[in-house]
Structures are given as C-alpha cells and as structure tokens.
Amino acid sequence: MAHTKQARKRIRQTIVRTERNRMNRSRVRTFVKKAEKVLEKGDIEAAREAVRVAQSELHRAVNKGVLKRNTASRKVSRLNARLKAASLG
C-alpha cells in the first residue's frame, strides 16, 4: 500500500485515467462495430456515413492518447477497403 501522500494521489489519478481511457476505447469499438455491421448489410450510403463517423472516433481517440496513430490508421484503412469492396461488388 502507498505510504506517502503523493503516492496515494497518484493511485487516485491512475484510477480516474484508466476509467476514462476504458470509456473512450469502448466508444471507439462501438462505432467500429456499427460500421462493420452496416457494411455487412450492404447499404452503401449508410455504410459511408458509419465509416466516416467511425473514422472520426478513431482519430479522436488518437488525440486523447487512447490509441496509437498507426493503430487508428490501420483500422481506418481496413474500414475504407471494406467500404470500397462493398461499393464495387
């Protein structure tokens, strides 16, 4: 257990930060899953909008420090590839 006042404060800060990161990560996953679900249905216009929103959420998570930039870029790239395949096929 923490002995100093500073260590106790750091523990409190870590708990708050961890919870905040968990919420943001969960939010990103939700929007990505929604986009994937719409892509599976095949509604191209709705899929475009869902991918756009998911992309925005991914970039927001990068700005908040929840995701690394390359991770978000990879996810955006894969969503856009699936969107392009759906619109062509």
Q: In this structure, is the dihedral angle defined by the CA atoms of residues 36, 41, 43 and 46, taken in order, positive or negative?
A: negative
Helix (H) or strand (E) holding 32: helix 5-41
Is 25 within 8 Å of 62 (Cβ atoms)?
Answer: no
**pLDDT for residue 1:** 81
Per-residue model confidence as pLDDT tens digits over 13-67? 999 999 999 999 999 999 999 999 999 998 999 999 999 999 999 999 999 999 9
- Label residue 35 exposed, middle or buried (CB < 10 Å: 0-12, 13-18, 19+): buried
pTM as predicted: 0.87
Q: Residue 50: which CATH number?
A: 1.20.58.110
Domain housing 65: 5-88
Query: What gap in Å lies between CA 32 and CA 84, rounded to an integer?
Result: 16
- Number of structural domains, the chain? 1
